[in-house]
Amino acid sequence: MTGAAAENLTFGKAINAGLRAALADDPAVLLMGEDIGQLGGVFRITDGLQDEFGEDRVVDTPLAESGIMGTAVGLAYRGYRPVVEIQFDGFVYPSFDQIVSQVAKLHHRTHGAVTMPITIRIPFGGGIGSPEHHSESPEAYFVHTAGLRVVSPSTPQEGFDLIRAAVASNDPVVYLEPKRRYHDKAPVDLTAPLRPLGPAALAAQGSDVTLVTYGPLVKTCLQAAEAAAADGASLEVIDLRSLSPIDFGLIESSVRKTGRLVIAHEASRTGGLGAEIAATVTERCFHWLEHPPVRVTGFDIPYPPAKLEHHHVPDLDRILDGVDRALGRPNSLDSLDPFAAPVPLGSTSDHTSGA
């Protein structure tokens, strides 16, 4: 993206600019959250917005996520477009019942008479040295819930574009912000037209392996594509952008070209988004696959202490190892017998997954 209107902004500042644009464009938009006013939020994403738009539109709330979300439902009933900030990913759970039982279902429950144009901003993922409740990846819970859109930007431009599109949507949107990318800087076109929420983006073209990811790992996967090219492998990197619905059309067309699929995400392996993508691609592209889909994910454990998180979060080496598995090259699982009988749960040989 280039142009006379482009400004070099950090990811966080780009989201701030998108929120400012949404507030300026529509008087029904208001922001709610803990410490988002004078403090500007713990990550300063709403910095300066209360001074510009007033305390009635940038509202500091009590420390009560369920109450914040319930208030947002009432405001939506009255024609407002609330943008709720959940301070950290692990703090969303007290509001989970409101989100899945009310926000996601009221449009259907009222036969379309009521819309819930609520945007739920959640800083998510690890890599910043924080403990559990501050470094989680809860996306699968929301992707599983019918009635919610779920998106995650990966660049400052996407941060600006997707927050504006989320606020403008008449559907409730869970907007997942990769917090360890807040300080990444890139040109942002602040005059870009409003773009749709759904389509995925082709982040890098390739011919040997399709590498699907989203949010914080897009940057890592692009680095993996560069490293793989030096080793003779061409990776096609797809940035999902939208996690619900998923743009399977782009994924399928890529897999039919490459014949191989690797999915990478920080969230735990079991029941994660990678499992859904792998299953759907296997159903739809079985005859084009040269190798079973490979998942490179976080492990099936509570989020580890800060000094151990680099073992948990997929990094360049683990993603490249997954690519080697898909290509049939030597890899970390070569010592395992792929034809061995399954190990029953509870046996001493059982081990935690997440490779």
Weakly modelled stretches of the chain, pLDDT under 70: 1-5, 337-339, 347-355
Q: What are phi and psi of 311, to 5 degrees?
A: -80, -25
The string of pLDDT tens digits covering residues 73-116 is 999 999 999 999 999 999 999 999 999 999 999 999 999 999 99
pLDDT at 347: 66
Q: By the 8 A CB rule, do 312 and 301 touch?
A: yes
Same CATH topology for 6-189 and 201-327: the answer is: yes
Please choose, from the candidates 100, 172, 197, the residue with its C-alpha nearest in 3D space to the C-alpha of residue 142. 100
Predicted pLDDT at 1 = 47
Residue 68 · residue 84 · CB < 8 Å: yes
Whether 31 contacts 59, CB under 8 Å: yes
Work out the burial of residue 275: count CB atoms within 10 Å of its CB; fewer than 13 is exposed, 13-18 middle, 19 or more buried: middle
Q: Write out pLDDT tens, residues 30-67.
A: 999 999 999 999 999 999 999 999 999 999 999 999 99
pLDDT of residue 182: 96
- For the entire predicted model, the pTM comes to 0.93
For residue 264, the one-letter residue type is: A
**6-189: CATH topology:** Rossmann fold (3.40.50)
Sorted by where each begins, the domain ranges of the chain are: 6-189, 201-327
pLDDT value of residue 354: 62
Tokens of 323: 């690519």
Catalytic residues, by residue number, are 134
Could you tell me which residues come within 8 angstroms of residue 253 by beta carbon, excluding any fewer than 6 positions away? none
For residue 339, what pLDDT is reported? Answer: 67
CATH of 201-327, one of 3.40.50.920, 3.30.420.40, 3.30.530.50, 1.20.950.20: 3.40.50.920
